[in-house]
Amino acid sequence: MALDDAKQTLLPELKDHSHVNEKNDLQRRRPWRSSSSPELDTHRPDQNAVQTPSPLVPLAAKSKFSFRQVFMLLAAHLGGGTLCFFLIRNQIKGTKTNGFLDAIYFCVVTMTTVGYGDLVPDSMLAKLLACIDVFTGMALVGLILSKAADYIVEKQEIILARAIHLGEKVGPAELLKEVETHKIKYKFLMTATILMILIFMGILFLYLVENLEFMDAFYCVCSTITTLGYGDQSFSTSVGRTFAVFWILGSTICLAQFFLYLAELSTERRQRSLAKWVLTRRLSPSDLEAADLDHDKVVSAAEFIVYELKEMGKISEHDISVIMERFEKLDYDQSGTLTATDLKILCSGLPAAT
């Protein structure tokens, strides 16, 4: 087919021009070289450059940076919180163990909004600090959910895919494609697996170390991971609170992430069913007419792509109109198409208004 050929012949050219390391078959199949990462593009002519310096770093690097940033923020928050509560440890009442341990335990129980109430602030200052801790903690947990947790799960999902397809003859490329296509499903399954392990660990610990009955241990785990924290059952020993610091942080975030992926999964399913409807519906002459952007009575591949994307709700009228504005500005000879001529006029400076 004509367009298939066009796509095929495009590939060798791309390989010659692109300096991006291509990791796998999937990425090698991309019809267009991405120039979203200015650093990677060594072919952009710099003479007569009027371009404003871009503040953007490559997206992948940015996302990695955020992960480290979030981790540092969490460490800073825990460190600062623990120090504050340690200094005012006499203004906190309740079941106490070790001064330092109680401070970090109180900080975690507060920032995750579990709030058992086995330790409660007993002065204006302590109450104010607890309020600050819970608000900043909530924002931080939100940040972890949106940046770090997703990043960690993404790193693990290929392992899960490998485990699921164990014994089957599936190559690494197919496995990667499977994970790419059902990204959210694998993330959801990965999170569910981790959550199950954390719940099991919690019950076992409360049963063995805190000497709770099995049902009470289960109830305490549910009450904690959901951040309910009535406080009738909580961690009262030194060993228990040491475990609790890590376990509460991990399990509350994991459950929240579980619900987030569940929501994403349902959104994705809805979007897929809409996309499927768009892609299988019968095309009418009025569809063709509506898709024909340049009114030449035929619908090109690109026109069809734009029309279908819009029907799927993936792009909006506004997205299209801002790009159209730019197109019209770039199209100096007003031919309705962008050519090398337009770029030459652009490079030689702005022409007189026509």
Residue 15 as a binder of a second copy (CB under 8 A): the answer is no
294-298 long-range contacts, CB within 8 A, separation 24+: 294/336
Which region, judged by CB under 8 A, interacts with a second copy, from 75-83, 148-156, 165-173, 310-318? 310-318
Selected binder of a second copy within 130, 161, 198, 199 (CB under 8 A): 130
Joined tokens for residue 7: 């796509």
Residue 58 as a binder of a second copy (CB under 8 A): the answer is no
Q: How far is CA 199 from CA 194, 209, 217, 226, 307, in A?
A: 9, 15, 10, 11, 48
Residues 164-183 that bind a second copy (CB under 8 A): 180-181
Neighbouring C-beta atoms of residue 179, cutoff 10 Å:
18
Q: What is the three-class DSSP state of 123?
A: coil
Residue 11 as a binder of a second copy (CB under 8 A): the answer is no
Joined tokens for residue 350: 């702005």
Selected binder of a second copy within 3, 60, 350, 352 (CB under 8 A): 3
Which region, judged by CB under 8 A, interacts with a second copy, from 69-77, 97-105, 185-193, 210-218? 210-218
Which region, judged by CB under 8 A, interacts with a second copy, from 190-198, 199-207, 241-249, 301-309? 301-309
Provide the minimum distance between the beta carbon of 102 and a second copy in the complex, in angstroms, as a whole number: 14
Cα 37 from Cα 62, distance rounded (Å): 11
Residue 303 as a binder of a second copy (CB under 8 A): the answer is yes
Provide the minimum distance between the beta carbon of 68 and a second copy in the complex, in angstroms, as a whole number: 17
Provide the minimum distance between the beta carbon of 167 and a second copy in the complex, in angstroms, as a whole number: 28
Joined tokens for residue 349: 């400076």
Selected binder of a second copy within 95, 319, 345, 351 (CB under 8 A): 319
Residue 55 as a binder of a second copy (CB under 8 A): the answer is yes
Binding mask 72-101 for a second copy (x = CB under 8 A): ------------------------------
Residues 261-290 that bind a second copy (CB under 8 A): 262-263, 273-275, 277-290
The gap from C-alpha 306 to its chain's centroid, in whole angstroms, comes to 26
Which region, judged by CB under 8 A, interacts with a second copy, from 67-75, 80-88, 190-198, 337-345? 337-345
Residue 345 as a binder of a second copy (CB under 8 A): the answer is no
Alpha helices, DSSP H only, in 88-182? Answer: 99-111, 124-143, 149-164, 172-181
Cα 9 from Cα 354, distance rounded (Å): 38
Closest listed residue to residue 162, CA positions, set 150, 172, 153: 172
Amino acid at position 115, single letter: G
Residues 34-53 that bind a second copy (CB under 8 A): 34-36, 38, 41, 43-45, 49-52
Residue 127 as a binder of a second copy (CB under 8 A): the answer is yes
Cα 71 from Cα 77, distance rounded (Å): 10
Residue 304 as a binder of a second copy (CB under 8 A): the answer is yes
Amino acid at position 285, single letter: P
Residue 348 as a binder of a second copy (CB under 8 A): the answer is no
Binding mask 226-265 for a second copy (x = CB under 8 A): xxxxxxx--------------------------x--xx--
Q: Are 103 and 85 in contact (CB under 8 A)?
A: yes
Residue 24 as a binder of a second copy (CB under 8 A): the answer is no
Element at 118 (helix H, strand E): none
Nearer to a second copy, 1 or 352 (CB): 1
Residue 33 as a binder of a second copy (CB under 8 A): the answer is yes
Q: Dihedral sign, CA of 345, 348, 349, 354? A: negative
Q: What is the three-class DSSP state of 1?
A: coil
Provide the minimum distance between the beta carbon of 147 and a second copy in the complex, in angstroms, as a whole number: 10
Computed over its alpha carbons, how large is the radius of gyration of the chain? 28
